[in-house]
Structure 1
Amino acid sequence: MFDTNHPLKLLFLKENVIFIMICVLFCASCSVKRPLAPTPAIQLTKIEPPVLKKHTEKMNVAAEFKRIFEASRLTFIYPDQIDSFYKNNEYQPVLISRFMADDQLQTFEGYLMNVDAHGIDPQVFTVNRIKKLLDNYIHENARKKERESYRDAMELELVIADAIIKYSNAMQFGIVDPARVYINYSTPTLRPDSMTVIQVLKVKNLKAYLDSIQPKDKQYVALQKALKAEQENPQENDSTYRILKVNLERLRWKNKPLTDKYVQVNIPEFMLSVIDSGKVSLRMKVCVGEQALDKETPQLGSKIYSVQVNPVWNIPQSIAGNEIIAYAKKNRYYFANNDINVYRNGKLVGDPESIDWKSEETGAYSFKQQPGEQNPLGRIKFLFNNESSVYLHDTPVQAPFKQKGRAVSHGCVRVEQPLNLAYALFGKGEKFDQIKKAMANGYPRAKYIGLPLQVPVWISYYTAWADKKGAVHFYKDIYGLDDVLYKQLSFPFSQLY
C-alpha cells in the first residue's frame, strides 16, 4: 500500500493522476464526432426524383401521388391521359424537375397571367392557385419538413400539368367545342385527342413550345389589336369587348379549309368571298336564312361538286306544309301557274286542281317546281353535301340585295352574281361556256355539270372581321350566337370539353 504521507510517494501519485487525466481527456476528445459542416440551403430550383426515392421507407411516394391525383381527378379535363403519363413516369413530379431549373414555370405563369390578350379570363386556367402554389413552393418549402414539401410538389405538379394541357388546347383548338355549343353547326372541326395531350406533357422546352402555339393568323392578330385598344380605353358598355372575345374564340377553332381555293360565306356580313391563294378573288352580296330557328342558315363545311343549271326545286316539306298548301287552298290553279308538279306517294298527280286541300291529308304529297322564271332557285344552284339540304343558288328576286339586312331566305344562300361565281369555280373553258349558254336559254331544261375539281365551301359566322388593311368591321348578331358563346366562355374550363 502507498504511504500517502511520504513526500516522494505523494509527488509520484500526483504526477500519475495528472497523466491519467490527460489520457482520459485525450481519449474523450478522440471519441467525440466532429461537428458536421453546415447543411446547405435547400435548392428549390430542381427536384431530383432519384433522391426523393430514398425516403420511401417513411412515405410511399407513388401511393401518395396517386392519392393526391384522385382527390383532384374531377377538376382535370383529361384525367385518364394524365394518370397514364405519370404511371409511365413512376408517379414522380417530372414537370417540376424539368422546368424549374431555368424558371420556365415562372415563364408559364406569365403566359397565363397575360391570356386576357386572347380574350380569355386567366382564371379559366386557375392561375391564382398556380401562383399561390408556385410561390409557396419556392419561398416556404425550405422551412417545411420533407414530407410536407414533397406533397406540395405533387399538388403543384398536377396543377401545372392540367394547366399546360388547357392552355395548349385553348391556343390551338379553342376553349369550347362549337358542335356542343350550336345546334346548326356541321363544320368539320379538329379537336384535341389523347395523343395530343400526352405529347404536350413531353415537351422539353416549355417557352419555345408556348411561343410556337400562339395564333398568328392575320385575322386573329387584327382582332387582338382591337381588343387591346378596347382594354386600354374601357367603356361602360362592354359590348365591343364581348364581340371581340367571342370572335377570337371562333378564330381559334380549326375549321377553316386548308386548300388554296375555297368559297366563304360569312352569315352576319351577308357576303360571299372566293379565296384563292390567300387573296380574295371575288366578293358579292348574299341573302341568308331568316331569324327563326327552322330557317337559319347553318354553319357548315363541305365541297361544291356540281352545279345544276335551270334547276328543279324539290320543295321541302316544311315549306310545302306552311306555305305551298296555303296558297293552293286559296287558288286551285296555283300549281299549274307556278310549274309545280304534285306527287302522291312518289307518283305524279295528273290533275292537282281536283284535290280539295282544305280536307286532304297532305303528308303523302311532295312537290317539285320545274325550271323557269317562277323558280325561286333562279337559273343555277351550286351543290354540296350537307345535313341541312341547303345550297347556294341564283334568285329571280333581286330587290333584297339592295337591303342592308338580308336575312330573308328559308336557309339556303342566294347569291347576287351566280354567273361570276360559276366562272370563279370552273374557270375559262368548255364547261363554263355550257353553263353560260344554258342559263341564257329561253326554253330551259335542267342540266347537271360537275366540277373537275371540287372546291370547299365554308359557311361561317363572324360578327367581327378585319379587312385587308387590318381594320375591324362589326356585324349584327342576327341569330344571337354571340350571347350563346359568351356564356359558354364564362364557364370553368372543365365543363367546356
Structure 2
Amino acid sequence: MTRWLNNFAELMLIGHMVRKYLLLAFTIAFTVQSCKKSRSDLGKTLFTETGNKVFKNVENEAFAEVFRQTLKAEQPGLSQPKLIAAFYEKNEYEPVIVLQHVKQKGLQQLLTYFDRAAEHGLNPELFKAKELKELTDKLYDKKGIQTTEDAYRDIARLEILAANSLLQYSIALQYGVVSPKRIYAAYFTDTQRPDSNSLNRIFAIRDLKVYLDSIQPANEQYLALQKALKEGKAAPGITAAETQKILKVNLERLRWKNKPQEDKYVIVNIADFRLDVMEKGKSVLNMKVCVGEGRNKDFTDNIQEYDENDLKKDRPFSRETPQLNSMIHSVQVNPVWNIPESIASKEIVKSAAEDRYYLANHNIDVFENGKVVEDPEEIDWTSGNPGKKYRFKQRPGEDNSLGKIKFLFNNQSAVYLHDTPAKAAFKQSMRAVSHGCVRLEKPLDFAHALFGDGAKYEQIKKQMEDTVAVATNISLPKKVPVYLTYFTAWDDSGTIQVRKDVYGLDIVLYTYLQKRGAI
C-alpha cells in the first residue's frame, strides 16, 4: 500500500511529459493543416510508398468527395463524431494520418500498439485492430487495391478508422476508457477528461512511435499491475480469472486523472480500510480506519448488468463512504453530533420508543422548530414520522459517537473523519461498519500530523483530556487536501496486494468496461 501511495506523485510527472509532447505536436499542427496538397500529391505519395500503380490515377478532389460521403455514413459509429467531422471539414477532407504515416510503413507501427492493448487489460478490438490490419495490409500490397474507386473507398475508410482508433487509444491510456463520474453515483472526486484542443493535436503527430511510447503510463504501480496481468497468477484466496478482472479494473483506475498533486495530503483507501498522511511522496503516518457499510459486505455479488441509462447509475448502500476530494479546514474537539435524519428515523426513534430513558442516557437532545424539547419522554415515538419532525443532537462526552474529535472538510455527503468510542472494530479485518463517515484508529496522532507542534496542537490535547467536555472549533493554519478513494489491488514491494470488493465498485466498473467492449 505504501509503495502504491509513494508512486502517486510519479503520475503527475508523466502527465507533464505528455503535455510537453502534445504542445510540440500542436505547434507542428499548423504545418499539417496549412500545406494544401496539389492535385497529384495524394496519389503520388501513395504510389511512392506502396508501388501500386492504381494510385497514379487518384485525384484529390474526387477522393475528397468520396471521403466526405464515407465520413457522413460512418459518423454515428465514431467515438468522437463531431470532433472528427469538424477536423476533416476544416482540412478539406485530406487523409492527414495516412499521408503522414504511410511512409516507411508507419501505419503498421500503430497496429503493433493496438495489438498489445491486452497488456493494459484492454481488448485490441476496442481499437478495431483486426479491421485496421486488413486495410493496412491491403494498402501496402501492390495488388491489394485494383481500381481507383476501390482506392478512394479504402483510403477513406482507413483514414477514418485510424483517426478514430488513435483518438480512442490516446484517451484510454491518458484518461481511462470510462469516466468515473458517469458510472458511480457516490463519486465526487475532481477528475480530468480530454478536451477538444488536446484531441485535435493528435492529428498533428509526426512520429507515431514517439507519441505512443510517451502516453504509456510509466508509474511503477501501473507497470507492476501490467506485469502481474501478463503473468496470469492467482492472488491468494481467489481464482486466476478473478484476479485478472481485479487487475484490469485497477489499471483503469490508475489511468484516471484524479490523483493528488500536492506535496502533503491525506488519502483513505476505502477498500483497504486504511488512512495515510503523505508528504513529498512518502507515507509519514498510517492507521486503520472504519468506513461506511457497503452493499457487498458479505462478498457474495458477482459480475452483473447495470442499466447505463438509469439515473441511479450504480446502486450504493445508503451508508457507503463516498469517493471524494476536499480540503480539511478545521477540527471540533469534544464534538456535538448532529444526528442525520436517516439515522434518527431508522435507529434513534426506534430506541427511544423501546426505552423512554434512551435519549437521556445517551446525552441526546431533541429539538422541535429549533427549540429544545424539555420532556422528550412524553413524546409518542410510534405515531407519525418523528424522525422527520424532530432534530437530534448528541452532546459532547465519553459516549459521543464521534469520540473526542472530528476533522471537517466541505463535501455534499456530510461526511468527515472522526474519533470513536467503539475501539473494538479496529481489531476486525472487515471494517465497513460506520454510517458513512471515516472512524480513525489514532485521532490524536492524526491531529499532530495535520497541525504539527505548537499551541493549537497543545490545545487539542488538553481539551481532549478535560473532564468537562466543551465543544471547541479550531482551524488549521493551512488546509490539507483529503482524498477518499477506492483501490482493490496494488503492488507492495513486489507482492500484489488484493482486497475484497466491499462496495461492489469493481463489479460496476468491470460491467461498464464490458459494455464498451474494452475488456
- Indicate whether the TM-score tops 0.5: yes
Q: TM-score, normalised by structure 2?
A: 0.83
Partners of 1:253 and 1:453 in 2: CA distance? 28
2:485 is aligned with what amino acid?
S
What corresponds to 1:215 in structure 2?
217
2:252 is aligned with what amino acid?
E
Partners of 2:204 and 2:441 in 1: CA distance? 52
2:381 is aligned, of 342, 357, 360, to 357
2:288 is aligned with what amino acid?
K
What corresponds to 1:384 in structure 2?
409
Shift of 1:236: 7.0
1:265 is aligned, of 262, 268, 281, to 268
Higher relative contact order (CA 8 A, sep 6+): 2
1:464 is aligned, of 489, 492, 503, to 489
Shift of 1:492: 3.1
Matched, 1:274 2:299: no
Partners of 2:451 and 2:342 in 1: CA distance? 33
Identify if the C-alpha distance between structure 1 residues 289 and 232 changes in structure 2 by more than 3 Å, giving closer, same or farther: closer
1:488 is aligned with what amino acid?
Y
What corresponds to 1:251 in structure 2?
254
Q: Matched residue pairs, number?
A: 450
Partners of 2:474 and 2:325 in 1: CA distance? 21
What corresponds to 1:298 in structure 2?
322
Identify if the C-alpha distance between structure 1 residues 351 and 95 changes in structure 2 by more than 3 Å, giving closer, same or farther: same
Matched, 1:418 2:443: yes
What corresponds to 1:480 in structure 2?
504
Q: Secondary structure at the match of 1:168?
A: helix
User: Structure 1, residues 172-198: CA drift from partner, whole Å, max 9, x if none?
Assistant: 100011111112111111111111211
Partners of 1:488 and 1:95 in 2: CA distance? 30
1:250 is aligned with what amino acid?
R
What corresponds to 2:472 in structure 1?
447
Matched, 1:43 2:45: no
Identify if the C-alpha distance between structure 1 residues 314 and 491 changes in structure 2 by more than 3 Å, giving closer, same or farther: same
Contact kept? 1:171, 1:214, Cα under 8 Å: yes
Contact kept? 2:123, 2:517, Cα under 8 Å: no
2:429 is aligned, of 388, 396, 404, to 404
What corresponds to 1:333 in structure 2?
357
1:430 is aligned with what amino acid?
A
What corresponds to 2:89 in structure 1?
87
2:121 is aligned with what amino acid?
G
What corresponds to 1:239 in structure 2?
242
1:146 is aligned with what amino acid?
T
Partners of 2:135 and 2:145 in 1: CA distance? 15
2:202 is aligned, of 200, 206, 227, to 200
Contact kept? 2:366, 2:391, Cα under 8 Å: yes
Q: How does 1:13-162 map to 2 (within 5 A)?
A: 42-45=47-50, 54=59, 56=61, 59=62, 61-139=63-141, 143-162=145-164
What corresponds to 1:28 in structure 2?
none
Runs (4 or more) in structure 1 with deviation over 2 Å come to 39-47, 50-56, 140-143, 491-494
Shift of 1:229: 1.3
Contact kept? 1:305, 1:383, Cα under 8 Å: yes
Partners of 1:218 and 1:42 in 2: CA distance? 44
Q: Secondary structure at the match of 1:91?
A: coil
Partners of 2:120 and 2:352 in 1: CA distance? 55
Partners of 2:139 and 2:105 in 1: CA distance? 13
Partners of 1:274 and 1:185 in 2: CA distance? 21
Partners of 2:51 and 2:402 in 1: CA distance? 69
Identify if the C-alpha distance between structure 1 residues 41 and 109 changes in structure 2 by more than 3 Å, giving closer, same or farther: closer
Contact kept? 1:46, 1:96, Cα under 8 Å: no
Contact kept? 1:304, 1:457, Cα under 8 Å: yes
Partners of 1:41 and 1:475 in 2: CA distance? 53
Identify if the C-alpha distance between structure 1 residues 400 and 182 changes in structure 2 by more than 3 Å, giving closer, same or farther: same
Partners of 2:384 and 2:260 in 1: CA distance? 47
1:415 is aligned with what amino acid?
L
What corresponds to 1:318 in structure 2?
342
Q: Secondary structure at the match of 2:476?
A: strand
Contact kept? 2:268, 2:484, Cα under 8 Å: yes
Note the residue ranges of structure 2 that are not aligned, 5 or more in a row: 1-43, 296-316
Contact kept? 1:302, 1:457, Cα under 8 Å: yes
Contact kept? 1:41, 1:142, Cα under 8 Å: no
User: Structure 1, residues 369-412: CA drift from partner, whole Å, max 9, x if none?
Assistant: 11111111001111111111111100011000001111111111
Identify if the C-alpha distance between structure 1 residues 199 and 220 changes in structure 2 by more than 3 Å, giving closer, same or farther: same
Partners of 1:414 and 1:46 in 2: CA distance? 70
User: Structure 1, residues 400-427: CA drift from partner, whole Å, max 9, x if none?
Assistant: 0001111111111101000111111111
Contact kept? 1:222, 1:471, Cα under 8 Å: no
1:189 is aligned with what amino acid?
T
